[in-house]
Amino acid sequence: MSSTARSVRLDVNGFFSHMIGSYGFDGHDLDGVVPRLSAAVADLDAKRRSGALPFYDLPYDSAAIAACNALASELRAEFDTLVVLGIGGSALGTKAVLEGVPAASLAGGMRVIVADNIDPASFSRLLDGTAGVDLSRTAFNVISKSGGTAETLAQFLIAREKLMAHPSVGAARWARHIVVTTDPVSGPLRALAKAEGFRSLPVPAGVGGRFSVLSSVGLLPLAAGGVDIEALCAGARHADTLCCVADPRENPAALHAGLLFLALRERGCGIHVLMPYSDGLLRLAEWYAQLWAESLGKAHALDGSLVETGQTPVRALGATDQHSQVQLYVEGPRDKVVTFVRVEAHDGELTIPAAYGDKEEISYLGGLRLGDLLNMEQRATELALAESGRPTSVLTLSRCDAASIGHLFHLFEVQTLVMGALLGIDPLDQPGVEAGKLLTYGMAGRNGYAADAERVRAMLARKRDDLVLG
Ligand code: PA5
C-alpha cells in the first residue's frame, strides 16, 4: 500500500437517520440520487478524456512539476524571499499548503509571502521594510491567469517602481526580480513578460483560477517555499484513483456531493460549514470556500433558466469556534451541514503536565496530549450536532502533510464538479466576479468602460441622505 493510501478518509454516517434521527436520510433517499450521480461521474470522465477538464491532468504533469522545481531552485539561489502577487485562485491554494504542512517540512525553502489583497496599509508595510522584507533579496511572482486583474497589476506596478528605485536593484536589474505566471499566449501579463524578458511559467489553457493550485500557479511558489510538490501531486493522484470510480457509493467525491445536494434540496441546508480542527488547515477552508462559492453560486442553469442556486460555504475553526459559532450550529436554524476535518497525528504534539492532583476539575487534563484533547473536542461537537439532528461528515487525515492536502484539493475539486452537475449549472465560469471587474475598470477610468462607471455614479446618486446616519 502506498504512503498516500488511506491517508484521507471520508465518513458520511452523520447524514443518515441511524446517527441523527428522523432528520437524517435513509438508503432510499440516497437511491433516489444515485442515477444522477452515476451520470455525472460518467459525464466528467468523458469530458476529461476529451481534454475539456485539464485540471484533472495537472498532478500527472511531470514536466511542469520539474520546471517549477528548477525555477524554484534558481530563485532560492538568488533571493531569500518570494512575494506572490495574485488574488483568488491565484493565491488561496498556495496559502493553504504553506500554512497546512508542518513547518519543519519547509526547511531549506525560501520565505514565501502571499500578498493577495490591495489594502495599502498591509502592502506598504510589506514593501517599506518594516515587515523584514529586503527588496534587494526579494523576487515577485506575479500570478494572474487572465493577466488583466486590476488588483494584481496594481501590485505589480507598485513593486516594479520600488525595485527600480532601490539603490541595489535599479533599472538594470529589476526585471530579474519578476517572475510571471499567466496564460501561455494571451493577456497583458504574457505580452509584458515577452517585452520585458521576465522569467515566466504558463497556466495551462482551460484551467481556471480556483482549479489551478496544482499548476505552476501553486507549484512554483510552493516549491520555492520548500514544499515537496511531488508529494502534493502524489496525494492528488491517489485521490484521483478514488474519485473516478464509476459507482457513486464507492466514490468519495460523488457520494459527498450527492449527500450535500440532498441536504440542500431535501432539508434546506443552504450553508456548508467546513470546520478543520487544526489551525494550519483554516486556510484550506478558505480555499474551499472560494471553490464552493464561486463554482456553484449561479443565477442560471445550463438551459438558461433562472435558478439562483448554490450553497454558502462557511469556514470555522475547531476548537476555537466551539466557543463562538457552535451554539448556532447546534440550536439555531436547520440550514447547515457541517464537515469536520480531523487530523489523527498532530504536528508538534505536546503532553499536558500533571499538576494540582487534589483538584479534579484541573488534574483530569494531566497526561493527555493536546492533539488528543483537540480531537475529543471534535467528537464532542459531532455528537452534539447528531443529538440535535444536524447533518455532518468527517474527513480524517492521518497526518496533515503535502500528500493529504493534495488529496483534499483533488477530492474537493471533483466534488464541486459533481455538485455542479446535480445543480445543472456551469461550475467553471464566474460571471458575477467578471461583472465586478468591469465596474472597477470603469471607476478607475479605463478606456471603453465609461458605461460601467456611469452605472456606479447612478447607484450613488440613488442613495437618500436620510438613510445615511452619523
Ligand atoms: O477562480 C477564479 O477564476 C478567480 O477567483 C480568479 O482566480 C481570480 O479572479 C483572479 O483571476 P486571475 O488569475 O485571472 O488574475
Q: Tell me: the pLDDT tens digits for 454-470?
A: 999 999 999 999 999 99
**Which CATH number fits the domain that encloses residue 98?**
3.40.50.10490
How far, in Å, CA of 261 to CA of 255, rounded? 10
Query: 400 vs 91, 160, 172, 277, 347, CA distance in Å?
Result: 20, 37, 43, 11, 8
Buried-state track 256-271, b at ≥16 Cβ within 10 A, e below 16: bbbbbbbbbeebebeb
pLDDT tens, residue by residue, 261-314: 999 999 999 999 999 999 999 999 999 999 999 999 999 999 999 999 999 999
Kind and range of the H or E run holding 341: strand 336-345
The better pLDDT of the pair 3, 428 is held by 428
Residue 431 within any structural domain of the chain: no
Average pLDDT, the chain: 96
147: left (phi over 0), alpha (psi -120 to 50) or beta: left
Strand 81-85, strand 298-300: pairing: unpaired
Residues 242 and 351 in one domain: yes
Whether 300 is catalytic: no
Q: Kindly state if the Cβ of 4 falls inside 6 Å of ligand 1.
A: no
Residues 263 and 368 in one domain: yes
Q: Whats the size of the chain, residue-wise?
A: 470
Q: Kindly state if the Cβ of 294 falls inside 6 Å of ligand 1.
A: yes
The alpha-carbon radius of gyration of the chain (Å, integer) is 24
Query: Helix, strand, coil proportions of the chain in percent (round to 5)?
Result: 55, 15, 30
Q: Kindly state if the Cβ of 187 falls inside 6 Å of ligand 1.
A: no
Candidate from 125-134, 357-366, 384-393 with smallest mean pLDDT = 125-134
Residues 274 and 207 in one domain: no
Catalytic residue, chosen from 18, 323, 359, 463, is: 323
Residues 352 and 377 in one domain: yes
| Cα 145 to averaged position of ligand 1 atoms, centre (Å) | 7
pLDDT tens, residue by residue, 77-106: 999 999 999 999 999 999 999 999 999 999
Q: Quickly count: other Cβ atoms within 10 Å of residue 333's Cβ.
A: 11
Catalytic residue, chosen from 166, 344, 377, 437, is: 437
| Cα 210 to averaged position of ligand 1 atoms, centre (Å) | 7
Closest CA relative to residue 416, chosen from 303, 321, 274: 274
| Cα 241 to averaged position of ligand 1 atoms, centre (Å) | 28
Strand 298-300, strand 306-309: pairing: antiparallel
Nearest ligand 1 atom to the CA of 210 is 1
Whether 294 is catalytic: yes
* Residue whose entry in the numeric block shows the C-alpha cell 498532530: 346
Q: What percent of the chain has pLDDT over 90?
A: 96
Work out the average pLDDT over 18-42: 97
pLDDT tens, residue by residue, 137-179: 999 999 999 999 999 999 999 999 999 999 999 999 999 999 9
| Cα 220 to averaged position of ligand 1 atoms, centre (Å) | 17
Work out the average pLDDT over 353-371: 97
Identify which of 149, 156, 212 to mutate to test ligand 1's pocket (most ligand atoms within 8 A of the CB). 149
pLDDT of the residue at 6: 61
Strand partners, 113: 83
Residue 445 within any structural domain of the chain: no
pLDDT tens, residue by residue, 371-390: 999 999 999 999 999 999 99
Residues 271 and 418 in one domain: yes
Q: Which of 173, 204, 228 is the last residue of a domain?
A: 228
| Cα 409 to averaged position of ligand 1 atoms, centre (Å) | 17
Work out the average pLDDT over 204-210: 95
Q: What percent of the chain has pLDDT over 70?
A: 99
Residues 336 and 204 in one domain: no
DSSP state of 385: H
* Residue whose entry in the numeric block shows the C-alpha cell 513593486: 159
Residues 188 and 300 in one domain: no
Residues 416 and 301 in one domain: yes
Q: Domain range spanning residue 303?
A: 8-46+232-423
Catalytic residue, chosen from 151, 294, 382, 413, is: 294
pLDDT tens, residue by residue, 228-246: 999 999 999 999 999 999 9
How far, in Å, CA of 42 to CA of 331, rounded? 39
Residue 134 within any structural domain of the chain: yes
Residues 265 and 402 in one domain: yes
Say whether pLDDT at 4 is over 80: no
Residues 206 and 283 in one domain: no
DSSP state of 203: P
pLDDT bin (cut points 50, 70, 90) of residue 1 is: very low
In the chain, the amino acid numbered 191 is: A
How far, in Å, CA of 449 to CA of 456, rounded? 11
How far, in Å, CA of 166 to CA of 170, rounded? 5
How far, in Å, CA of 268 to CA of 72, rounded? 47
Residue 186 within any structural domain of the chain: yes
Work out the average pLDDT over 112-127: 96
